[in-house]
Every structure is written in C-alpha cells, then in structure tokens.
C-alpha cells in the first residue's frame, strides 16, 4: 500500500528528531526562523495593502519590532501607538515567540539535566594512560585501592580507574569516606558494562598498566550467581583482548569462583592472565595459621605494599653462593631462584651458585634498596644448633559455623595432620546441603574423624556443653550458608568470640582463630584476645594488588600456599637454642636457621603477641647487624619444608 504524503512527512520527522539534541535544536531554530519570516511577511503585507497602518514609515523598523516581540514579550510595548489591526499582529508575534522560546528553554533545560546526569554517571572518555584499571565492584574494592595507593606512594602521579555497573555517586561517596587521603593517586570512577568493547575503549584500556577484574557477587552467593560472575569475567577478558587487536599484552588478574571457568581461562595460554580462587587461598592460609600462631601478621606484612615485599631481582651476582648472598646485601633476604627452565625454587640446594643475570627472589623493604656489595657486609658467628624437632600429634579442631573456606580447610588440613585427628563442626539446624558435604568428606577422608553437631554457636549454653577448651584449635566462621553481608557475619563472629572468652579463661592450650571479612572490624576483634584472625578481604586484596603489579609473583604464592613446597612457619626458639636468653644479631639468627635448611625471615616476641602497636610481636627483615634478645617464649619466622 502506498504511503500518504502525511505519513511520509511524519516518518521523516521522527527519524530526524530521533538523532538527538542537535536535531531537536535545529528543528526549533528552523521553526523559529520560519515563523519569524511568516509573521514579518504578514506585517509588511498589511502595511502594503493598508498604508494607513504604517504609523512609523520605516519597513526595516517593522522587521526589527517583529523580531523583538517574538524574542521577548516585554517588547510588545514597541507597538503602543500602532493602529488596532497592527496590534493583532503584535499579539500573534508575542504569543508565537512565547511558545517557541518556551520549547527552546525546555529543550535546553532537558539537555543540561541530561549532560549533568552523564557527568554524574562518569560517561565521558578517560584519557589517562599507564593507569591501573579495576573492572567491577565488590566489598574488596576499597582495600584494593588502599594497597595501590601505597604501591604508588613513591610515584609523582598515579591513577586508578574503576569501571563498574554500580552508581558513580555511590562509588565516589564510599571511596571519599573510607579513603580521605589518596596521596599521589587519583581515583576515577565511571559507570558502564565492563564486558563491553566500547566501554573498555572509553576507559582507554589499551594504555592501562594492569587490569583487575572483580567478582560481582560474594563468596556466600548462590552457585548460579557465581557462575554468572565468572561468565562476566571471561567476557571481560575476551573484550580486553579484542581491544588490543586479538593479542593480550596486559597483566590481567581476575577473581573466578568455579574450577571449570578457571580451566576455560587457561585455554588462553597467556601468562599475563591470572585467575585466582580467593577462598582456596583463604582455606590454605587458615590451615597454616592453625598450625602456627602469628602467621597472619607475617602474611599481612609480606603481602602488603606497606612493609617488606617479595621481589624478583636480577643482578651481576659473580658466582656468589646463594646462602652467602644475604650477607652481601644491606637490605634483603634471598628466598629462592627463578628461571623459565626450572621455574621457582625456594630454599635451593646448599651448593647453588648464582650466575650473572639470574633472577633471585628476595624479601626486601623496596626493590631500590636491594644493592649488592663488592664483599660481605656481615660475618655472623656460628652458634651451636640444638636441632630439636616438634612432635607431631593428633589434633582436635572445632569449627563453629560453616563457609566454603571450611571445606577447603578440611581438605588441606588432611595433608598436614596425622591420622585420627578430629574435626567437629557445630552448626545450628544444618541444611541438607551441609549434611551431604560432611558425608562426602567422611567418605573421602576415612582416616580422620569428621562430625557434624546440630547446636547453636550463638547460644552460650551450647558452647559450654561442647567444652571448647578440649580442642587444640577453635575456628569461628559464618553462621549461615545463605548470602549475607560482611558486617552481619562479622557481628556474629564477635558475639561468639566474646562468649568463648568467658568460657575459656585462658587460651594457653586452645588456639583460637577467626575469619574477619571487613577490615574495618579489625580493631574490634583485637579486644577479644583472639590468637589469630585472618582479614579475608584484606589479604585477598593484597594478593590481587601485588599480582597486578607483578604477575610473576603468582609462582611464589603457589609454592608457599601448597603443602608440597616450602611454607612460612613461626617456630619456637627452643628448637634452635639450648640456653636463654640469647643475645645475638639477626644475621646470626639467619645463620642458625640455615643449619636446619631453613631461611629466617624475622622474629616474633612472645611477650608482645597481644600488642597491636607492635604488630603482635612480629618483625621481618631486620637489619642484619641489629642486636636481638631471644627468650624461650619467642619465635623465629622461617621459610621451611614443614612445621616440625
């Protein structure tokens, strides 16, 4: 059917107007000019047909008056002396002008509101370069920014750009509230789909320094939400690669929950793309912390940019023996070597000789402070080694609550503990899902005792009944398997800790651990006399931030978090010395640890284990000539094969 002229006109008009603000403004401008020409023509026509209406005798003044009356109704008094019929044109010109100008003002107001809305949403193009790009938003983002601020402290200017679907105003308000001083780092937030190529190009992804992709749900979320989050992360990686012409050159660190999706990411065969499972790491950390008190403070310093860090350092080593290298360095403790052929080797063989250009893994204050001297700076005296081993015994562990990390904890703990060690899980009205998990764990690890107890850890009478003091370790986790906020989980944890402190008068024989999700709750937890607390979000964010700065450090984490490799332990000084007190230098502490095939990273003073201001007694990477006094209740922080 043939379209009418009217239909064609409205169709073309709709197409033109749908192009946006410029077409609307142009339409209004054309309409104004067209109306002005008509009204001006009618006025001149009336004057021509009826000369008696020409009261001023100047046609150009009539044109000007028409324009003034259309642009401002106050100018209608220009025709006070005009004849009656000419005043009709005056009224028509004024009304037409009011209508058109109202439409124009309305358009301008709407356009300004839209522009301000776009500014609030951060929809403009990001022209930064060499910036760290964070994609997504979750409860860890503030801690990640805090770590990046510390990492950039030595730079004159640095930038962190956040692209998220969260509201920009919300992001800006939270960041300014939690991080009032960003030092040399600018924080830019913008709203958008971070799996969209156009959005990634808008934040100048090609010129970024590194990329962190955050999960868009919590670890306690449903399986469907976790899968959706992982799919979004994979789409983002594909979009980032596409923005670079199909070949990725940027370090990308992504939080991925499911093993299946991590395997898909491995198909990229790109060493720059790292997918981490936060709670597998947390489970391993929880196991190691349960074996040795104070380990969380050690990791808190090593993983943070605020303190000593792990560096992969190349130099002209001139065939120095690996275990002598520490005494050539004013700052730094060598931990191992790295090469593409052999990978990372922590605590290498005693006869390892370093060749020029070899990469050495060093714990140091800063990479700029690692300086090789021409000769030994320190010559520690040899101290007799007691060489006593800890006796491995069966352990009884009480888990209050349940979380995905608990399942990983049990799986990992079976590699460290001897047979017939016992795990008791206290959970109020355990759902069928948890009961099935416990049955599966029992079948998988028949040599261990794994029991599920239906009781309420938030009721003091239930805690008294189970008698927590009979256990070697008491671990406090989430009290619900449903998705809950970090503050709600931490609040339940705090209540349980306060009740445990009342039930257990002293923690001499019971090692009390807890998992803190929100780092801002650290100071509150400090008041409960808990032996160790793992600030989950903080430690994970430290790892994410460090991987974004140095992807190679993943090999270090893979080793120390694995039972097969070398791990960090806090061991009592009674394993090393016969007599106390021992007044020695830190270099001599390193030397005696070497006699046990261990590398000493620092010390922990037992009398300061509850002192927050002294980092709970932990000091790492001391000056090698610093005098230290060790007693029988103190500890050495060492890199070792096992905890014995």
Band of the pLDDT at 167, cuts 50, 70, 90? confident
570-592 per-residue burial string, b: 16 or more CB within 10 A, e: under 16: bbbbbbbbeeeebebbbbbbbbb
Residue 8 has a pLDDT of 66
Distances (CA, A) of 337 to 274, 346, 354, 358, 635: 21, 7, 9, 8, 26
Cβ proximity of 299 and 285 under 8 Å: yes
pLDDT band at 564; cut points 50, 70, 90:
confident
pLDDT at 522 over 80: no
The two beta strands, 627-630 and 582-585, are antiparallel
Closest CA to 219 of 408, 6, 462, 439: 408
Asked if pLDDT for residue 218 goes beyond 80, the answer is no
Superfamily of domain 132-276: NAD(P)-binding Rossmann-like Domain (3.40.50.720)
Question: Which of 291, 288, 290, 296 is CA-nearest to residue 513?
Answer: 290
271 exposure class (CB count in 10 Å sphere: 0-12, 13-18, 19+): exposed
pLDDT per residue over 461-499, tens digit each? 988 898 888 888 888 888 877 777 777 887 888 888 888
- Other Cβ atoms less than 10 A from the Cβ of 501: the count is 16
Number of C-alpha atoms within 13 angstroms, CB side, residue 131? 23
Give the full edge-to-edge strand order of the sheet including 396-400: 449-454, 422-427, 396-400, 473-476, 511-516, 532-535
Summary mean pLDDT of the chain: 83
- pTM for this entry: 0.75
Which pLDDT score, from 0 to 100, does residue 499 have? 86
Residue 276: the pLDDT is 84
Backbone φ, ψ for residue 440 (5° rounding): -65, -40
Q: Which residue has the tokens 């009618």?
A: 42
Q: Which CATH architecture has domain 396-536?
A: 3-Layer(aba) Sandwich (3.40)
User: Residue 592's pLDDT band (boundaries 50, 70, 90)?
Assistant: very high
CA distances from residue 280 to 143, 164, 258, 549, 559 in whole angstroms, order as listed: 20, 26, 11, 22, 14
pLDDT in tens, 63-89: 888 788 787 777 777 777 777 777 788
> What are the DSSP E strand ranges found in 64-156?
132-135
pLDDT at 15: 62
Backbone angles phi, psi at 375, to 5 degrees: -145, 175
Q: How far apart are CA 205 and CA 7, in angstroms?
A: 46
For a pLDDT cut of 90, what percent of the chain falls above it? 19
Would you state the pLDDT for residue 94?
Answer: 78
In sign, the C-alpha dihedral spanning 246, 248, 253, 259 is positive
């Amino acid at each position: 059917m043939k379209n009418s002229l009217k239909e064609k006109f409205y169709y073309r008009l709709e197409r033109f107007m749908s192009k946006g603000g410029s077409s609307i403004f142009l339409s209004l401008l054309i309409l104004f000019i067209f109306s002005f020409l008509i009204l001006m023509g009618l006025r001149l026509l009336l004057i021509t047909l009826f000369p008696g209406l020409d009261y001023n005798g100047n046609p150009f003044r009539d044109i000007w008056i028409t324009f003034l009356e259309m642009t401002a109704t106050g100018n209608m008094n220009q025709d006070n002396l005009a004849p009656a019929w000419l005043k009709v044109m005056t009224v028509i010109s004024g009304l037409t002008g009011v209508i058109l100008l109202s439409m124009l003002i309305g358009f301008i107001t709407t356009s300004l509101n839209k522009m301000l809305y776009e500014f609030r949403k951060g929809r403009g193009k990001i022209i930064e370069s060499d910036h760290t790009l964070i994609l997504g938003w979750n409860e860890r983002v503030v801690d990640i920014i805090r770590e990046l601020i510390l990492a950039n402290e030595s730079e004159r200017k640095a930038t962190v750009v956040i692209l998220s679907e969260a509201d920009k105003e919300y992001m800006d308000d939270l960041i300014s509230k939690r991080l009032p001083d960003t030092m040399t780092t600018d924080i830019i937030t913008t709203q958008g789909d971070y799996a969209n190529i156009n959005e990634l190009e808008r934040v100048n992804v090609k010129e970024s320094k590194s990329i962190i992709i955050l999960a868009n749900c919590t670890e306690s979320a449903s399986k469907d939400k976790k899968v959706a989050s992982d799919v979004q992360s994979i789409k983002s990686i594909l979009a980032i690669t596409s923005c670079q012409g199909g070949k990725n050159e940027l370090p990308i660190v992504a939080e991925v929950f499911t093993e299946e999706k991590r395997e898909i990411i491995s198909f990229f065969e790109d060493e720059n793309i790292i997918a981490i499972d936060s709670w597998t790491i947390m489970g391993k950390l929880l196991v190691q912390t349960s074996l040795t008190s104070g380990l969380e403070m050690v990791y808190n310093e090593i993983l943070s940019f605020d303190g000593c860090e792990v560096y992969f350092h190349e130099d002209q080593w001139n065939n120095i023996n690996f275990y002598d290298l520490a005494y050539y360095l004013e700052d730094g403790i060598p931990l191992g070597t790295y090469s593409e052929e052999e990978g990372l080797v922590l605590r290498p063989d005693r006869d390892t000789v370093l060749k020029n250009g070899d990469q050495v893994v060093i714990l140091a204050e800063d990479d700029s402070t690692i300086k090789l001297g021409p000769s030994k700076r320190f010559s520690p005296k040899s101290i007799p080694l007691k060489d006593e081993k800890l006796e491995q015994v069966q352990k009884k562990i009480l888990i209050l609550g349940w979380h995905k990390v608990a399942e990983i904890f049990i799986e990992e703990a079976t590699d460290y503990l001897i047979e017939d060690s016992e795990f008791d899980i206290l959970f109020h009205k355990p759902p069928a899902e948890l009961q099935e998990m416990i049955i599966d764990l029992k079948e998988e690890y028949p040599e261990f005792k794994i029991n599920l107890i239906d009781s309420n850890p938030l009721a003091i009478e239930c805690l008294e009944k189970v008698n927590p003091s009979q256990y070697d370790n008491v671990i406090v986790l989430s009290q619900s398997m449903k998705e809950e906020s970090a503050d709600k989980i931490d609040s339940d944890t705090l209540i349980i800790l306060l009740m445990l402190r009342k039930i257990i008068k002293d923690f001499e024989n019971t090692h009390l651990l807890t998992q803190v999700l929100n780092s801002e709750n650290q100071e509150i937890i400090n008041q409960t006399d808990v032996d160790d607390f793992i600030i989950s979000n903080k430690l994970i964010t430290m790892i994410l931030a460090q991987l974004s700065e140095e992807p190679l450090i993943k090999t270090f984490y893979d080793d120390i978090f694995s039972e097969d490799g070398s791990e960090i332990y806090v061991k009592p000084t009674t394993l090393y010395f016969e007599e106390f007190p021992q007044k020695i230098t830190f270099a001599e502490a390193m030397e005696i640890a070497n006699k046990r095939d261990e590398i000493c990273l620092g010390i922990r003073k037992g009398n300061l284990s509850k002192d927050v201001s002294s980092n709970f007694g932990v000091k790492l990477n001391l000056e090698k000539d610093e005098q230290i006094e060790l007693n029988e209740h103190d500890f050495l922080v060492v890199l070792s094969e096992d905890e014995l």
